[in-house]
């Protein structure tokens, strides 16, 4: 099935590149959405099976993330459609945009499903290329700068991951193995030399931090999410970050069975804590709303990794947090696209009184704000609470207090900017020039935010079981 | 034999840290490609012929000729000034790169693995960190690309050290080389000059908070 999916993707993306008629583009994209959902459905029917010489496996983590991707992808396509209806862009740019998006989603799916660390690596590399096509969409100096930085930082990071894999293979050769598939690694973990494992972990962790958005390499993603059109930004800050987590977590499962687990946990604590700190510092001063959302994603990834490092209930909470964050953050990015069409600006100082210009959108944005900052109706409240509990139970009290202080700052900064957008009258804005946005475009956001609330408080039994299955390889 | 080549490679790292002109950088990169050809020729000639041809093509054709010529073309086309413009004086660069080599040497003494050739390890890690250092301390984008190429050379050496038993990984590494450097340079050569409409390429500093 996965071979069929990949060849279908190649065909669709090639056709998107060649055929630039509007209707043909939309039909092809719709065909890809169907293909994606067929892959997901097939995955659920053949759970736990390997495909293509054992390189791909539909395990629980992959299924969870794939479903998240499938749910986010449909509104992303819809909002791209709206985006192109609104702006008179050249067919060529549209074709390349959709092609990049299709390749990005397929590469991310491949990285989720990968059962072999080198295969993950190849697909992660592919996402860099595909994402650069999305970031460079506007073809101006700023987009070029964003793309250049993204490609450069991601290339270095992916080289780091490769070096990590080389060190890992040295460790494997010592015990006479050459199989780099994840189950084999988990099985062999305890026999591997800790010196090489340490080196390997440092490099792989640093490498994946570019995709996931954690401290050493987070910078690339910020410019990328700012410069890409908002439907693309939504994908970059949800499914792509999840991919970074999947790569990192699968390798962490290997580390978790060795003597260096505690050391690795400390490394993650430092990186995650610094991520939240950096997010707080920048959110206090950022004026561009999309960049603010990007920094907020950094904060959430920091929280997720805190859960992983703390262990216990933290693993479960981390995966739940990741899924819910993907829905909440992508809906916020979708909404940002409409904000931009009304005010023609991404800067907070140019906007205001959103409620009077676009009531459903403003309501969606307000709800999204509560969801993203993990206030009670939001499901993120549950996962964040569980992460704090795991920190508390792991006796990381000082860290917990520091994180809570930083989170307060983040909520304050976020709220200050967003309430200004929603309620304060704009200063230099001519109301007659306000763009028109249909209220129905906010439906998808309400749906995603509804999912955030529903899944947090009343998670379906299947989802709970899948998450527990996904984290079963890490010791409590 | 490989040790001599690798030690020469380490010496080129020191040289690149104090070079002033972009042309010198390009020549050093070409020379490094030649050295890598030597190392892989001595090391891998018992591996099957397809693999061998692949690696040799990559070092000689790609690293020694194509990339340096391409870099030259970029410099000419965008009329980039010849100076490397480091943020730090050359003397500090010399000291730091020497320290990098000494440090990796010290790390390598703590390894007791008979299967790993320590010279490879030292040179590979030195190249990696020297490349990062070049990226951090040079002003021009083109020197960032060169720093990245130095890192790639380091990775190439490292994969050779492991590669005798893992041809699959070596091939993946080569894929990385071709893919990323072509893409990076491609964007560079085609877009930056066109979009910015100016010969000055030090302008990509507007996106910040």
| ipTM, 2 dp | 0.89
Interface residue of B167, B177, B207 to substitute, partner A, most A CBs within 10 Å: B207
Q: Is residue B23 part of a domain?
A: yes
Residues of chain A in Cβ contact (below 8 Å) with chain B: 118, 121-122, 125, 129, 132, 139-142, 144-149, 151-152, 155-156, 158-159, 162-163, 165-166, 169-170, 173-174, 178, 193, 195, 222-223, 226-227, 282, 285-286, 288, 291
Q: Which residues contact A123 (CB under 8 A, 6 or more apart)?
A: A107, A108, A110, A111, A114
**What average pLDDT does range A14-24 have in this prediction?**
87
Q: Is residue B205 part of a domain?
A: no
The separation between the first and the last C-alpha atoms of chain A, rounded to the nearest angstrom, is 35
**What average pLDDT does range B48-53 have in this prediction?**
74
Residue B45 — very low, low, confident or very high, per pLDDT cuts 50/70/90?
low
**Nearest one of A29, A28, A237 to A131, comparing CA atoms:** A237
Q: Is residue B208 part of a domain?
A: no
Query: What's residue A189's pLDDT?
Result: 85
> What is the rounded distance in angstroms from the CA atom of residue B150 to the CA atom of residue B141?
14
Q: Is residue B33 part of a domain?
A: yes
Q: Is residue B104 part of a domain?
A: yes
Residue B71 has pLDDT above 90, yes or no: no
| Contact yes or no for A343/A419 (Cβ under 8 A) | no
Residue A352 has pLDDT above 80, yes or no: yes
Q: Is residue B203 part of a domain?
A: no
Q: Is residue B17 part of a domain?
A: yes
| Contact yes or no for A117/A185 (Cβ under 8 A) | yes
Q: What percent of chain B has pLDDT over 70?
A: 75
Residue numbers of B between 120 and 159 with CB closer than 8 Å to A: 128, 132, 135, 141, 144, 148, 151-152, 155, 158-159
Structural domain that includes position B168: 2-192
**What average pLDDT does range A419-434 have in this prediction?**
82
Q: Is residue B197 part of a domain?
A: no
**Which chain A residues are Cβ-neighbours of B166 within 8 angstroms?**
169, 173, 178
Domain count, chain B: 1
| Contact yes or no for A386/A379 (Cβ under 8 A) | no
pLDDT in tens, B145-201: 888 889 988 988 888 887 655 556 666 666 666 666 666 666 666 666 666 655 455
Q: Which of A166, A195, A282 sits opposite B158 (nearest CB)?
A: A166
Q: Do B166 and A169 touch (CB under 8 A)?
A: yes
Instruction: Calculate the CA B85 to chain-centre distance.
Output: 19
pLDDT in tens, A376-406: 888 999 999 999 999 999 888 999 999 999 9
Residue A78 has pLDDT above 90, yes or no: yes
Partnered with residue A288 across adjacent β-strands are A347
Partnered with residue A50 across adjacent β-strands are A57
**Tokens standing for A21?**
């008629």
All structural domains of chain A with their residue ranges: 1-258, 260-476
H-helix or E-strand spanning residue A266: helix A261-285
Mean pLDDT for chain A overall? 90
Q: What percent of chain A has pLDDT over 90?
A: 55
Interface residue of B180, B182, B202 to substitute, partner A, most A CBs within 10 Å: B180
Q: Do B207 and A159 touch (CB under 8 A)?
A: no
Q: Which of B155, B179, B205 sits opposite A163 (nearest CB)?
A: B155
Of A3-12, A361-370, B66-75, B95-104, the least confident: B66-75
| Contact yes or no for A61/A470 (Cβ under 8 A) | yes
Q: Which of B183, B204, B205 sits opposite A129 (nearest CB)?
A: B183
pTM of the shown model: 0.92
Query: What's residue B199's pLDDT?
Result: 41
Residue A95 has pLDDT above 80, yes or no: yes
């Amino acid at each position: 099935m996965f071979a069929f999916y990949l060849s279908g993707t190649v065909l669709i993306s090639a056709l998107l590149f060649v055929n630039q008629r509007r209707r043909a583009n939309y039909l092809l994209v719709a065909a890809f959405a169907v293909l994606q959902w067929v892959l997901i459905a097939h995955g659920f029917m053949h759970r736990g099976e390997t495909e293509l010489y054992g390189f791909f496996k539909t395990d629980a983590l992959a299924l969870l993330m794939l479903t998240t991707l499938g749910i986010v992808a449909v509104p992303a396509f819809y909002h791209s459609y709206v985006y192109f209806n609104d702006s008179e862009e050249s067919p060529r740019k549209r074709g390349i945009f959709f092609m990049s998006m299709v390749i990005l989603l397929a590469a991310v799916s491949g990285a989720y499903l990968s059962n072999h660390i080198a295969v993950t690596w190849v697909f992660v590399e592919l996402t860099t290329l595909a994402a650069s096509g999305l970031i460079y969409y506007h073809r101006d100096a700023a987009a070029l700068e964003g793309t250049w930085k993204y490609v450069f930082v991601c290339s270095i990071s992916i080289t780091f991951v490769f070096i990590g894999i080389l060190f890992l293979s040295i460790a494997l050769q010592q015990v006479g193995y050459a199989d780099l598939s994840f189950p084999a690694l988990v099985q062999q973990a305890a026999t591997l030399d800790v010196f090489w494992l340490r080196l390997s972990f440092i490099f792989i962790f640093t490498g994946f931090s570019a995709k996931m958005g954690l401290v050493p390499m987070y910078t690339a993603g910020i410019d990328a999410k700012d410069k890409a059109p908002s439907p693309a930004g939504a994908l970059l800050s949800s499914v792509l970050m999840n991919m970074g987590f999947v790569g990192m977590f699968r390798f962490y499962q290997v580390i978790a069975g060795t003597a260096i687990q505690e050391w690795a946990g400390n490394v993650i604590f430092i990186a995650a804590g610094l991520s939240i700190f950096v997010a707080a510092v920048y959110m206090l001063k950022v004026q561009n709303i999309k960049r603010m959302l990007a920094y907020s994603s950094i904060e959430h990834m920091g929280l997720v990794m805190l859960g992983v490092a703390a262990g216990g209930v933290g693993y479960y909470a981390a995966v739940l947090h990741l899924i819910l964050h993907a829905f909440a953050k992508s809906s916020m990015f979708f909404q940002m696209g409409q904000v931009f069409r009304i005010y023609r600006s991404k800067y907070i100082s140019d906007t205001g009184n959103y409620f009077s210009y676009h009531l459903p959108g403003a309501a969606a944005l307000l709800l999204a704000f509560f969801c993203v900052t993990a206030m009670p109706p939001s499901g993120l409240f549950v996962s964040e609470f569980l992460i704090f509990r795991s920190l508390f139970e792991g006796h990381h009290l000082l860290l917990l207090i520091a994180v809570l202080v930083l989170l307060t700052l983040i909520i304050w900064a976020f709220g200050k900017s967003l309430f200004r957008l929603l309620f304060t009258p704009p200063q230099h804005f001519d109301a007659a020039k306000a763009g028109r946005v249909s209220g129905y475009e906010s439906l998808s956001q309400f749906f995603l935010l509804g999912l955030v609330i529903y899944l947090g408080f009343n998670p379906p039994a299947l989802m709970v079981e899948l998450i527990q299955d996904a984290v079963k390889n890490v010791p409590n | 034999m490989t040790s001599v080549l690798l030690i020469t490679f380490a010496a080129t790292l020191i040289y690149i840290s104090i070079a002033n002109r972009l042309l010198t950088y390009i020549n050093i990169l070409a020379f490094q490609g030649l050295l890598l050809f030597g190392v892989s020729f001595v090391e891998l000639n018992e591996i099957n012929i397809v693999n061998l041809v692949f690696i040799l093509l990559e070092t000689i054709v790609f690293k020694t000729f194509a990339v340096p010529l391409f870099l030259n073309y970029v410099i000419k086309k965008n009329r980039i000034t010849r100076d490397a413009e480091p943020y730090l004086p050359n003397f500090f660069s010399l000291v730091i790169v020497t320290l990098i080599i000494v440090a990796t040497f010290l790390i390598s003494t703590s390894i007791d693995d008979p299967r790993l050739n320590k010279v490879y390890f030292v040179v590979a890690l030195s190249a990696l960190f020297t490349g990062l250092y070049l990226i951090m301390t040079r002003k021009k984008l083109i020197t960032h690309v060169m720093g990245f190429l130095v890192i790639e050379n380091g990775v190439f050496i490292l994969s050779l050290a492991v590669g005798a038993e893992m041809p699959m990984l070596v091939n993946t590494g080569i894929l990385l080389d071709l893919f990323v450097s072509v893409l990076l340079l491609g964007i560079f050569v085609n877009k930056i000059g066109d979009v910015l409409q100016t010969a000055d390429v030090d302008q990509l500093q507007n996106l910040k908070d």
